[in-house]
Structure formats: C-alpha cells, structure tokens
Structure 1
Amino acid sequence: MKVFRGSTFKADRAWGAMDIANMGGITTRLHWTDQPYKWHVNDGEEVFAVLNGCVEMRYRDAGSEHSIVLEAGDVFYAATGTEHVAHPIGEARILVIEREGSV
C-alpha cells in the first residue's frame, strides 16, 4: 500500500512525473507542469484527469481544432488517433493513464 499526495507533488521540470503503477503495460503517472506539452497522438487511448489547477486541452477532430478548459476533477479521454495538446493555466497536477511508452 502506498499513498500519493497529488496536491503537493512538484516535479523538477515541466511534465515531470511520478510513476504510480504499471498494470499489464498500462501506466498511471502523476504529472506536474506549468508549461504546455506538444501536439501529439498517443499509441493508444489516454485518460487525462486534472487533479489540481486548470488545463486548456486543444484537440483536432475532422480537420478542425477545438479547445476546452478542464478544471480540477475533469477528465479528458483521447481515443486512439486523437491529436491533442495540453496547456496548463498556471500550475497543474494531472493523472495520466496510458499505454507504457506512449508519447
């Protein structure tokens, strides 16, 4: 048993992460960031849960770019092939569940 204090975790760099679990090739990681990520497409599905802060999630669908602001408690699901990028608004802590080795 282990407890992870998501509200106080801070990495030494943007998008730094603490590994929580690897369950048969599916990883759960706690990320801290204050900087945008990069446009990317994961190798599989991704669950992106904002634990603390706010994140503007931009994604592309059918050739159009969309944006939604995610607040603490909100979850973004990216199906396989969904191109997306996260832009935190200040500091944010995010729980990400995805295939091991994904972007």
Structure 2
Amino acid sequence: MKVVRSKEFKASRAWGALDIANMNGTTTRLHWTDRPYKWHVNDGEEVFAVLDGTVDMHYREAGVEHVVTLATGDVFFAGLGCEHVAHPRGEARILVVEREGSV
C-alpha cells in the first residue's frame, strides 16, 4: 500500500521523478517540472496526466506541429510513434504511465 500526495512532491531538478509502481514493465511515475522536456517518441504508448498546473503539449502529426493546452485533470495519450514535447506554464506535476526505460 502506498499513498502519494502529489501536491507535496517537488524534485530537485526539472523532470525529476518519484517512482510509484512498476507493473510488469509498465512504470507509473510522478514528475515535477518547471521547464520544457525535449522532443521525443516513446518506446511504446504513454499516458500523461496533469495533476497540478498547466502544460502546453506540442505534438506532430504528418509533420505538422499542433499544441493542446492541458489543465489539471486533463490526460494526453501518446500512441505509438507520436512525437511530442511538454511545455509547462510554471510548475507542474504530471503522472506518466509508460514502458519501463522509455525516453
């Protein structure tokens, strides 16, 4: 049993993470950040849930860049091959579920 108080978590660096669970190679991690990540494609699918803050998620479809603003409670699903990068507006806490070892 584990309880995580996400609003109390702050990492020592942008995109620092608290490992919550590893379920047969699928990880669940809580990230804290105040800076953009980097453009990337995950090694599999990814669920990205904003627990606190606001995040502009940039993604590319057929070479065209799009941006969707995610507020607290919103979820972004990156399917196979989805190139994306998260840009928080200030501090944000994000729950990420993805294949272990993914970028």
- TM-score interval w.r.t. the shorter chain? over 0.9
Corresponding position: 1:81 with 2:81: yes
* Cα distance, 1:89 vs structure 2: 0.2
C-alpha separation between the residues in 2 aligned to 1:71 and 1:23?
A: 27
Deviations 1:42-87, CA, capped at 9 Å, x for gaps: 0100000000000000000011000011000000000010000000
**What stretches of structure 2 of length at least 5 have no aligned partner?**
none
Equivalent residue letter for 1:83: E
Let me know the Cα RMSD of the aligned residues.
Answer: 0.3
Superposed CA deviations along residues 13-58 of structure 1, whole A, max 9, x for unmatched, are: 0000000000000000000000000000001000000000000000
Equivalents in 2 of 1:88, 1:54: separation in Å?
Answer: 6
Matched, 1:24 2:24: yes
Q: Amino acid of the residue matched to residue 8 of structure 1? A: E
Output the amino acid matched with 1:52: D
Q: Secondary structure at the match of 2:86?
A: strand
Structure with greater proportional strand content: 1
User: What is the TM-score with the length of structure 1 in the denominator?
Assistant: 0.99
> Alignment identity in percent?
75
Which residue pairs with 1:12 in the alignment?
12
What residue is the counterpart of 2:98 in the other structure? 98
Structure 1 unmatched ranges of 5 or more? none
- SS of aligned partner of 1:7: helix
